[in-house]
Structure 1
Amino acid sequence: MKKILLFGAGKSATVLIDYLLQEAAVAGWQVLIADADKNQVLAKINNSPFATAVQVDITKSEQRAELVQQADIVISMMPPALHFLVAQDCVAYGKSLLTASYVDDQIRNLQSEIENKNILFLCEMGLDPGIDHMSAMEMIDGIKAKGGTITSFKSHCGGLVSPDSDNNPWHYKISWNPRNIILAGSAGAVYKEQEAVLEKEYYTVFENAETVQFPGLGELAWYPNRDSLGYIPLYQLQDAETFIRTTLRYPAFCRGWDYIVNLGLTDTDDHDNIMDCETYADWLERKLYLVENREMELEEYISLYVPEEFEEELKTQFEFLGLSANIKLPKAAQCSADILQFTAEAKLAMQPQDKDMIVMLHEIEYTIEGSKLKVESWLRVDGTDSLRTAMAKTVGLPLGIATKLILNGTIALTGLQIPTSKAIYEPVLQELRMAGISFTESSRQ
Structure 2
Amino acid sequence: MAKFLVFGAGFVAEPLVEYLLRRSDNTVTVVSHILEEAQALANKFPGVDAVQADVTNQAQIEPLIADYDLVVSLVPATLHAVIAKAAIAQGKNMVTASYESPAMRELKQDALDAGVTILNEIGLDPGIDHLSAMKIIDQAHADNEKVISFVSWCGGLPSPEANDNPLGYKFSWAPKGVLLALLNDALFLHNGKVERVVAKELLKWAKPLQANGLNLEGYPNRDSTGYQEIYGIPEAENIIRGTFRYSGFCEIIQAAKDLSLLDAESEVPTGNTIWTDYVCQINGVDNFDALKTRVSESAWRGLGWIGCFSEKATGDFAGPIDAFCNLLVQKLNYHEDQVDMVLLQHKFEIEKADGSRYHIASTLQEFGQVGGYSAMSKTVGYPAAIACQLIADGIIDRKGIILPMTKDIYLPILELLEKEGVTCEEELREYKPEFLSELAS
Pairing 1:347–2:339 present:
no
- Cross-structure match for 2:434: none
Q: What is the CA RMSD across the aligned residues, in angstroms? A: 1.8
> Equivalent pairs: percent with the same residue?
32
Aligned to 2:421: 436
1:256 equivalent to 2:240? Answer no
Amino acid at match of 1:41: A
2: CA distance between counterparts of 1:161 and 1:437? 18
Q: Which residue in the other structure is 1:211 paired with? A: 208
Q: Map of 1:116-135 to 2, 5 A cutoff?
A: 116-135=113-132
After the TM superposition, which residues 13-52 of structure 1 pair with which residues of structure 2 at under 5 Å, given as runs?
13-23=13-23, 25=24, 28-46=25-43, 48-52=45-49
Preserved contact between residue 190 and residue 226 of structure 1 (Cα < 8 Å): yes
Q: How far apart are the structure 2 equivalents of 1:48 and 1:386?
A: 16
Q: Residues of 2 paired with 1:35 and 1:170: CA distance? A: 33
Structure 2 counterpart of 1:264, one-letter code: S
- Which residue among 355, 380, 389 is the counterpart of 1:395? 380
CA distance in 2: counterparts of 1:280 and 1:110, whole angstroms: 47
Determine if contact 2:209/2:217 at 8 Å carries over to the other structure: yes
Q: CA deviation at 1:177?
A: 4.7
| Structure 2 CA distance for partners of 1:372 and 1:296, relative to 1, 3 Å | farther
The residue aligned with 2:410 is 425
- Is the Cα contact below 8 Å between 1:176 and 1:391 reproduced in 2? no
Q: Is the 8 A contact 1:12 1:176 kept in 2?
A: no
Q: Which amino acid in 2 is paired with 1:302?
A: K
> Of 81, 84, 89, which residue of structure 2 is paired with 1:87?
84
* SS of residue in 2 equivalent to 1:362: strand
Tell me how far 1:387 sits from its aligned partner.
Answer: 5.7
**Contact map agreement 1:159 1:175 (CA 8 A) in 2:** no
Change beyond 3 A, Cα 1:430–1:118: same
Counterparts of 2:371 and 2:277, CA distance in 1: 34
Alpha-carbon distance between aligned partners in 1 of 2:5 and 2:390, rounded to the nearest angstrom: 15
- 1:192 and 2:177 are equivalent in the alignment: no
Which secondary structure does the structure 2 equivalent of 1:233 belong to? helix
Please give the per-residue CA displacement for 1:251-289, whole angstroms capped at 9, x wherever unaligned.
Answer: 211111111123221122111x34657232222112333
The structure 2 residue matched to 1:236, chosen from 232, 235, 239, is 232
Residue pairs, 1:135-174, within 5 angstroms = 135-174=132-171
Following TM superposition, the consecutive aligned residue runs of length 4 or more in structure 1 with deviations greater than 6 angstroms are: none
Superposition deviation, residue 29 in structure 1 = 1.4
Read off the aligned partner of 2:383 and give its amino acid letter.
Answer: P
8 Å contact 2:270–2:315 — kept in the other structure? no
Tell me the equivalent position of 2:438: none
Deviations along 1:373-392, one digit per CA (max 9) or x if unpaired, are 11111110000136610000
Match of 1:288 among 274, 283, 299: 283
Q: Distance in 2 between matches of 1:262 and 1:239?
A: 39
Q: Offset of 1:14 from its aligned partner?
A: 2.1
Distance 2:15 2:78 in 1: 23
Find the counterpart in structure 1 of residue 355 from structure 2: 370
CA distance in 1, matches of 2:99, 2:379: 16
Q: Give 1:113 shift.
A: 0.7
Find out whether 1:223 has 2:219 as its counterpart.
Answer: yes
DSSP 3-state at the match of 1:115:
helix
Q: Which residue of 2 aligns with 1:330?
A: 315
CA distance in 1, matches of 2:370, 2:89: 40
Q: Which runs of 5+ in 1 are unaligned?
A: none
For structure 1, which segment, 103-112 or 10-19, has the greater mean C-alpha deviation from structure 2 after superposition?
Answer: 10-19
Do structure 1's residue 266 and structure 2's residue 262 form an aligned pair? yes
SS at match of 2:209: strand
Higher alpha-carbon deviation: 175-184 or 139-148: 175-184
Alpha-carbon distance, 1:295 to partner? 3.2
Q: For each residue in 1:351-391, what CA deviation from the matched residue of structure 2 results, as whole angstroms up to 9, or x when unmatched?
A: 32220000011010011122111111111000013661000
Mapped partners of 2:281, 2:233: distance in 1: 47
Choose the corresponding residue for 2:100, options 92, 98, 103. Answer: 103
How far off is 1:8 after superposition? 0.5
Which residue of the partner structure matches residue 316 of structure 1?
Answer: 301
What is the identity, as a one-letter code, of the residue corresponding to 2:12?
S
Give 1:213 shift. Answer: 1.4
Q: Secondary structure at the match of 2:194?
A: strand
Q: Take 1:323 and 1:392, find their aligned partners in 2: how far apart are those partners?
A: 30
**Partner amino acid, structure 2, of 1:283:** Y
Report the secondary structure of 2:63's partner residue. helix
Distance in 2, Cα, partners of 1:42 & 1:353: 26
Moved more, 410-419 or 316-325: 316-325
Match of 2:435 in 1: none
> Which string of whole-angstrom CA distances, capped at 9 and with x for unpartnered residues, describes residues 26-84 of structure 1?
xx111010113333333334453441111223234443123211111101110112112
Contact 2:99 2:120 in 1 (8 A): yes
Letter in 2 for 1:365: E
Aligned AA (1:216): G
Cα distance in 2 for residues equivalent to 1:130 and 1:13: 16
TM-superposition CA deviations, 1:311-365 (whole Å, max 9, x none) = 1x3233212321122333333x222221122221221122322200000110100
Tell me, in whole angstroms, the C-alpha distance in 1 between the residues paired with 2:44 and 2:427: 45
- Separation (CA, whole Å) in 1 of partners of 2:58 and 2:145: 51
Report the AA paired with residue 196 of structure 1.
K
User: Residues 388-433 of structure 1: CA distance to partner in whole angstroms, max 9, x if unpaired?
Assistant: 1000001000000000000111111111111111111000001111
Residues 270, 314 of structure 2: 8 Å contact kept: no
